[in-house]
Structure 1
């Protein structure tokens, strides 16, 4: 077996290995080759993690290592987070004199069933792909004559094609752009669970907590650091998000049964009709969450109203959109906690119970 080493003045702690058909500057790579890339000169630091309640709560640095010129990247692997639909923990390292002196947990993550492995990756080198002028995605003559299936290059030429890595697809016989991670939408979906009845005999202006049952977080959710936390101060669950800007869309499938007693609180259909004005509002409470102490601090409230005209015992959909901004903070542990309450809008003509139907009720969060 041949081993191809990228050798300069540095040794490796992080490696990328792939068996089979690895080739550099050759159209006929040895099928037994292994590509091994190394980019760190020094002794790697070593640390272990502890968890509680499914989150990483502590990191013990057992060896600070040596040779670091910049703060290394801290990553967490295994522990069940991804498998259980959770989120990865995040942490940052600090160095002094080339040695890692401390690691700060920025986000403990969710869904861990066992302590994850902590990896501390240093280095200041990168992997440079060939810079090609891929002006015609269907060309098999320029910039490469008869390109091999799977050939990778960066389109850095003066042309209108995407300035990103491209690979040659031998099946379609053309160059294809790889996914640009920066353009990948960052979203989170939460489905409502359990039965929820609100606003029983409630007048206009009254409200109640909306997320009182733990929501089901979709497996496609990919906002780093997002989690749902039980709010021990106000009750219910709050949506915890890292610093940044978000669009929060709330979609509720609602149903109001016949009021009891009749005419409750002045309930009456619209004149000459069997329809009611079942207006609602959501109060969005923008709170602060300290990720290191798991504590909430009250913040400003923004109210969004939606008028709905419907009959009793008939499902009706209500939607809200809210721009939510979590300001930058020098302390990465100070992030956002969004709490929601559902209320009865002014001028409503229905003043009794409303049921939130789990099927069709969800919250979508998009990172902007």
Structure 2
């Protein structure tokens, strides 16, 4: 998995002074140059540290600066062997009316042989990169002719590529996303919420009921852009997905209480045992959702069956996999609807409970 964290590439450079030819309005930048980017609009504060016994014992403000709208961070750089075995000191700043009025050492650290530099970093402005229309990531002519290795820009144009910062990789002769690599997995997880959902009460083979009767919760790790859960015309919930191809995995923790009355609908264990064939199916309905009008349109369904042999009052796990494709269509998303049903030749014809613990749906964008 290739995930490039752009922030870790940029932010450390903010603490160094400018040196060398950094390539702004230059044709021959020095590759060893370090650029200090000042993203603070105001007068930076300055301070000096006092060291005693290898630890920082105090910080004196030499210039409180001005223009601070949030509390800046305080960092210590240099100072001797702390960089190879010591402990770095920590401190916090106090601001009053935009001026740094105090710095409190919260951890003096250890291993300092001389006073380190004190860097007070505050920011109230961002960094604006060029807005490019990168239609073809393999193009070396458009939007930039013969782009330099490492050139950075934001793909903000009308195209199908990721709307993210891109850099040009000369070795691959390709623009590459720095925050969302092309093979970073896109997934969504849905958990079943309490109360326990009871389905298929007194239902014969072939009967079904909406599986998402209760609204599922979307896990915080879900990162499929455009994914959502909405109530539908069937008094249940549909999974809203933008154009693309997906693998949908449904995992259910099921439990069937004793039939009531006994023998309901012909319920009987398998011959000579206490086990039942508790077969199930899921009908995956390929509906569509108009994200402008908010209306659903019913679509064709696909049935996936799974036979399960189990006892009453015993949890049994059932899993289904379904490949789902949503064609590109302006304002129209896929709206996947799920019905849980009883498979043909089952020998149990009464209620089954969907236990929230252990039941979930995983969607992977392919």
TM range (shorter): 0.5 to 0.7
Q: Which residue is equivalent to 2:340?
A: 342
Show structure 1 runs of 5+ residues with no match.
1-15, 37-118, 132-152, 167-177
Runs of 4+ with >2 A deviation: 16-30, 32-36, 121-131, 153-158, 162-166
- Answer yes or no: is the 8 Å Cα contact 1:164–1:180 preserved in 2: no
Counterparts of 2:132 and 2:312, CA distance in 1 = 65
Deviation string 1:16-51 (CA, Å, 9 cap, x unpaired) is 997323773253536x44389xxxxxxxxxxxxxxx
Q: Which residue is equivalent to 2:206?
A: 205
Q: Which residue is equivalent to 1:355?
A: 353
Counterparts of 2:356 and 2:281, CA distance in 1 = 18
Counterparts of 2:216 and 2:240, CA distance in 1 = 13
Q: Which residue is equivalent to 1:81?
A: none
Indicate which of 18, 28, 32 corresponds to 1:27.
32
Query: TM-score normalized by structure 1?
Result: 0.57
1:276-315 aligned within 5 A: 276-315=276-315
Counterparts of 1:187 and 1:165, CA distance in 2 = 21
Which SS does the other structure have where 1:235 is aligned? Answer: coil
Query: Could you say what the CA RMSD is over the residues aligned between the two structures, in angstroms?
Result: 3.2
Q: 1:245 to 1:26 in 2, by over 3 A?
A: closer
Residue 274 of structure 2 corresponds to residue 274 of structure 1: yes
Which SS does the other structure have where 1:182 is aligned? Answer: coil
Deviation string 1:213-245 (CA, Å, 9 cap, x unpaired) is 1111011111110000011x2110000001111
Q: 1:190 to 1:27 in 2, by over 3 A?
A: same
Show structure 2 runs of 5+ residues with no match.
1-9, 23-29, 41-127, 134-142, 151-166
Counterparts of 1:347 and 1:204, CA distance in 2 = 7
Counterparts of 2:197 and 2:342, CA distance in 1 = 15
Counterparts of 1:339 and 1:220, CA distance in 2 = 22
Post-superposition offset of 1:207: 0.5
Q: Which residue is equivalent to 2:331?
A: 333
Deviation string 1:249-300 (CA, Å, 9 cap, x unpaired) is 1000000011111111111111111110000000111001100111100100
Q: Which residue is equivalent to 1:139?
A: none
- Answer yes or no: is the 8 Å Cα contact 1:283–1:304 preserved in 2: yes
Counterparts of 2:358 and 2:33, CA distance in 1 = 55
Aligned residues: 232
Q: 1:367 to 1:123 in 2, by over 3 A?
A: closer
Q: Which has the larger radius of gyration?
A: 2
Which SS does the other structure have where 1:265 is aligned? Answer: helix
Q: 1:309 to 1:129 in 2, by over 3 A?
A: farther
Which SS does the other structure have where 1:313 is aligned? Answer: coil
Counterparts of 1:180 and 1:225, CA distance in 2 = 16
Query: TM-score normalized by structure 2?
Result: 0.57
Residue 219 of structure 2 corresponds to residue 218 of structure 1: yes
Q: Which residue is equivalent to 2:153?
A: none
Post-superposition offset of 1:155: 5.9
Counterparts of 1:213 and 1:129, CA distance in 2 = 54
Q: Which residue is equivalent to 2:149?
A: 130
Counterparts of 2:183 and 2:305, CA distance in 1 = 32
- Answer yes or no: is the 8 Å Cα contact 2:149–2:170 preserved in 1: no
Which SS does the other structure have where 1:325 is aligned? Answer: strand
